[in-house]
Structure 1
Amino acid sequence: MSVSAYHQHTVGGPAIFAGLGLHTGEHVRVSIRPAGPDAGITFVRTDVRDRDNAVRVSPEAVVKTQLGTVIGNDAGVTVSTIEHLMAAMAALSIDNAVVELDGPELPILDGSAQPFIEILDRVGRRRQEAARRYIELLDTVEVVEGDKRASLSPSEQFEVAFEIKFDAAPIGTQRVDLVVDEESFREELADCRTFGFVREVEALRAIGLARGGSIDNAVVLDGDRILNPEGLRRPDEFVRHKALDAVGDLYVLGMPILGRFDGLYAGHGLNNLVVRALMANPDAWRVRTWTQELAQAV
């Protein structure tokens, strides 16, 4: 079904899949189910039965941002690595859904958002009789940490710009700047994979991370060599994946953005800080609907 800018949407039916978590290495089964209008996106840990096992997505629900976005509730229940699925749902205009999983981390699949797009495409989306709300930027909000920066600023459309710089020859300095809608996300960002360096793997595994990581679900670099036999999907796959992450991290707002995101050497932590800074500055944004704009134009 085609998407409507005026209405909220949910998934057309249960979308069921399974896979390994990037950091835990655990096999997890997932079911994405429809939810009612204004419900937002809620993750439910079906393996947790002794306390509240539902975690509704919001900026405040983000409890950790080391190499991924982790959300949690007041009962201490967490769900890790939500950003790729969140990016896919943002791109496909899925406003309301319940994501049930029987483990602590979403499957990483191939390290990009493409498998999630394909999973959601199989069940389609259903229009709901409720107005879709947008966060419209009225002023610029910025957070800075050393040489890293992230900002949100006014724009008539959702734009994402990102710049990264690494010493590794396959990466160097890369920049991407594009209007993000369903078409551009599918064509420009969805298939770009997460990446990491061999030298970091042992240290990460020592602290319980990257236990499920491999060349099957990430671009892996050893110095200036890319270890994946198939190579890169795009010459600038690295920065495009960072932009993909930003799309997912911004969608914890629960509404699409009418505005521009700029990230310089940023990551999940700074992405969430700029979201929180926006929420803390109510004069910098307002909630709009397309129906309001149409009424004003008449």
Structure 2
Amino acid sequence: MFQQTIGSRIDFDGVGVHRGLPVRLSLLPAEINTGIVFHLSDASGVLHEIPAVSANAALMDLSTVVGDPRGAHVATIEHLMSALYAMGVDNVVIQIDANETPIMDGCAALYIASIEEAGVVSQPAKRRYLRVLKPVSVEMNGARAEYRPHNGTRFEIEIDFANAAIGRQVYHADLTAERFARDLAKARTFGFMADVERLWAAGYALGSSLENSVVIADDGRVINPDGLRFADEFVRHKTLDAVGDQALAGVRVLGCYRSYRGGHKMNALALQALLADRRAYEIVEMPSRRVDPVRHAPLVAVAAPAYGPQTL
């Protein structure tokens, strides 16, 4: 019920998955009501403060970006944001010296382990929650996403690929720090060999490798020597991304987020639609007050290629 920050500074070094450039990132404890804020130092030494909130998010397919994509921005923030959100960190300053976070091994596991080691500290201010009051949905190109009332923070994610290595996969669960660390944090980003040359030509996936991505060959095989970490690692990673994208609400969300064939753009559109409808939510400080139960009927869809380019 109270706001939280991290117990000490945490440093990370690596490369960005898309630009392939070295990056140093540091998490610093922050005062109450700071929120999650990126402090980006550009090449000229100018410091840009970019709050990680929906109003600052660009609508992108390949990753989650805050700031101006043509100017000061930070890309591929979804794995870090998912770890902070799952661990209940409300206030932190993120110092970064490049326009993209380090990809590490393509998931959120190292972020989780480092936050656990530093500790999470309670602060003397009540946490705010956004409680979903009525359904809000968006649809585009056969993809669908919606928020519905729910007693807790729940994710119901479904993917459906024609590729035999993936097919149809579903992950449904209420979010807790323990469940995120166990079920989702180790699920890696993924992509297709058939898309590699197109992405390289566009200046993306330059830092991608078998060490940080699950790669699917043209014949449908997973080519990583060690295979998958979970039989349904693909939908688990999509859920990890959805957790990170929901963190851009700026407050904890009490509701169920459901998506079918979604991705970063659909996640962003759904959150924007929710925040734009003032009748669809309320801001509260007590997460335990009950609302009318909602029956979660399954989404009905036919098998089809997934919407949009996939995260790498």
Asked if TM exceeds 0.5, the reply is yes
The answer (yes or no) to whether the contact 1:55–1:73 under 8 Å persists in 2 is: no
* Superposed displacement of residue 50, structure 1: 6.0
Q: 2:117 aligns with which of 112, 116, 122?
A: 122
Post-superposition Cα deviations, 1:153-181, rounded to whole Å, max 9, x if no partner, equal 10001110111111221201111111111
Q: 1:16 aligns with which of 11, 19, 27?
A: 11
- Tell me which residue corresponds to 2:273: 277
Distance in structure 1 (CA, Å) of the matches to 2:147 and 2:270: 7
Bigger drift between 117-126 and 215-224 goes to: 117-126
Structure 1 residue 208 corresponds to structure 2 residue 207: no
Q: 2:186 aligns with which of 166, 191, 194?
A: 191
Structure 1 residue 254 corresponds to structure 2 residue 250: yes
Distance in structure 2 (CA, Å) of the matches to 1:148 and 1:293: 32
The answer (yes or no) to whether the contact 1:162–1:239 under 8 Å persists in 2 is: yes
Bigger drift between 202-211 and 49-58 goes to: 49-58
Unmatched segments (≥5 aa) in structure 1: 1-5
Aligned residues: 289
| Matched residue type, 2:241 | D
Unmatched segments (≥5 aa) in structure 2: 291-312
Structure 1 residue 95 corresponds to structure 2 residue 90: yes
Distance in structure 2 (CA, Å) of the matches to 1:18 and 1:122: 17
The residue correspondences of 1:46-65 to structure 2 (distance < 5 A) are: 46-49=41-44, 51=46, 53-65=48-60
The answer (yes or no) to whether the contact 2:39–2:47 under 8 Å persists in 1 is: no
Q: TM-score, normalised by structure 1?
A: 0.93
Distance in structure 2 (CA, Å) of the matches to 1:74 and 1:236: 32
- Tell me which residue corresponds to 1:156: 151
| Matched residue type, 2:62 | L
Q: Secondary structure at the match of 2:39?
A: strand
* Superposed displacement of residue 184, structure 1: 1.0
| Matched residue type, 2:153 | F
| Matched residue type, 1:139 | K
Q: TM-score, normalised by structure 2?
A: 0.89
Distance in structure 1 (CA, Å) of the matches to 2:44 and 2:155: 40
Distance in structure 1 (CA, Å) of the matches to 2:192 and 2:246: 26
Q: Secondary structure at the match of 1:227?
A: coil
- Tell me which residue corresponds to 1:227: 223
* Superposed displacement of residue 187, structure 1: 1.1
The answer (yes or no) to whether the contact 1:52–1:77 under 8 Å persists in 2 is: no
Deviating beyond 4 angstroms after TM superposition, the runs of 4 or more aligned structure 1 residues are 48-52, 291-294
* Superposed displacement of residue 146, structure 1: 2.5
Q: 2:107 aligns with which of 86, 101, 112?
A: 112
Q: 1:239 aligns with which of 231, 235, 240?
A: 235
* Superposed displacement of residue 255, structure 1: 1.0
* Superposed displacement of residue 44, structure 1: 1.0
The answer (yes or no) to whether the contact 2:254–2:287 under 8 Å persists in 1 is: no
* Superposed displacement of residue 52, structure 1: 5.2
* Superposed displacement of residue 73, structure 1: 5.1
Q: 1:128 to 1:194 in 2, by over 3 A?
A: same
Distance in structure 2 (CA, Å) of the matches to 1:249 and 1:291: 21
* Superposed displacement of residue 289, structure 1: 1.0
Identical aligned residues as a percent:
38
Post-superposition Cα deviations, 1:86-136, rounded to whole Å, max 9, x if no partner, equal 000000000000000111100010111111101211211111000011110
Two-structure CA RMSD over aligned residues (Å)? 1.7
